[in-house]
Amino acid sequence: MTNINKIGLTWISFFSYAFTGGLVVVTGIIMGNIADYFHLSVSKMSNIFTFLNAGILIAILLNSWLIETISLKKQLIFGFFLTVIAIVGIVYSHSVFIFSINMFILGLVSGITMSIGTFLITYLYSGSKRGSKLLLTDSFFSMSGMIFPIVSAYFLEKKIIWYWTYISIGGIYLLILILSIIFHFPKLKNNTHQHEKVKENWNLNIILLSISALLYILGQLGFISWVPQYATEIINIDIKKTGNLVSSFWMSYMIGMWFFSFIIKFFSLHRIFIFLTGISSILMYFFIHIQNYIFLQCIIVSLGFFSSAIYTIIITLASLQTKNPSPKLINLILLFGTIGTLLTFIVTSPIVEKKGLYTTLFSANIFYGVVFLLSILIYINTKYRKNFI
């Protein structure tokens, strides 16, 4: 494989995360406007977005089978046409049912695309480069998280209807289509069968890391999805400043990934994992107990920075548990992370409805705290295995 082709495939991975990030992150910003559009309450509208998350989950479940039956290039090209169909459906439909189907389709496309992007990075890179590239790939998720809340807030401020946000996100997939046509993909069928022949010894840490991925994503999205409503209703901040809070989180998240993609090479992954989950839990606690906008801005920037590398470290640690990590092992962590995404509104919407926004954010803080405890347990278990195995 030529170096130019390798770079091209890497950029497809980058954009795959940017596409998924755009779809997931803008939900909290435009959810109120979509609820008004369909004449639903915000809590009921949030349940509709479960279709997006369900699509992502099912796509990752299907990915192991799809890789063996349909080429990566064909999957991405077909994904573009599904994206166009879904966005057109969102624009021209006035039915909640049709909107739900289209969100499900976008979830399927983004899940398959993100799964392909992750697999390409683990296929193309090894060792410390893999962890570094995974961090850079994930940073494009947060880059979308930085850009699209600003774009959405601008549209809303200028009275431009909310579905233009999804049209602009669709532009990312156009870039994926162009790169998919230009560059050549590796043939993965034989490679996949070779991985199946190699016996993998999955240990307790893989289970603990999977649970950590689920709780981390559930905590992160449960927090950031309701920050806009919390800021406007509890702290009385206007929509533009609310958009800036969410955008600041993802901007610092992106910068943190770039920073840790370099730092990660010089420190123990386990110790960084413990440090980042611990400090992130503390910062989130302070955020939900302060009502000064300037302090909130500082805290959410710090939270984005220090929590940025957690998910990628979980994936990297899982891939290092066996000598020959298979696509199924990587997909397992992605699957649990996606279950966390799926559960975001299933878990948080009833809390919002019955207990309020403060309790919802505090529950997200608890999830972060549990991940911190799991990081310590994973470190202890790793030490134990090294001493006795």
Tell me the C-alpha distance between 165 and 173, whole Å: 14
Tell me the C-alpha distance between 173 and 343, whole Å: 26
Which pTM does this prediction carry? 0.75
The radius of gyration of the chain's CA atoms, rounded to the nearest angstrom, is 20
- Whether the CA torsion 239, 110, 341, 92 is positive or negative: it is positive
Record the tokens describing residue 103, joined without a space: 């969100």
Tell me the C-alpha distance between 19 and 145, whole Å: 10
Within 38-95, residue ranges assigned H as helices are 42-48, 50-69, 72-92
The pLDDT profile of the chain, 389 residues, written as one tens digit per residue, is 678 888 899 999 999 999 998 888 787 778 888 888 888 887 778 778 888 888 888 887 787 677 777 888 899 999 999 999 999 999 998 888 999 999 999 999 998 998 888 888 877 887 667 777 877 888 888 788 778 878 888 888 888 898 899 999 999 999 999 999 999 887 765 554 444 444 556 678 889 999 999 999 999 989 988 888 888 888 888 777 887 888 888 889 888 888 887 787 777 888 999 999 999 999 999 999 988 889 999 999 999 999 988 988 898 888 777 666 566 777 788 789 888 888 888 898 889 888 888 999 999 999 999 999 999 999 998 887 666 55
The single-letter code of the amino acid at 94 is H
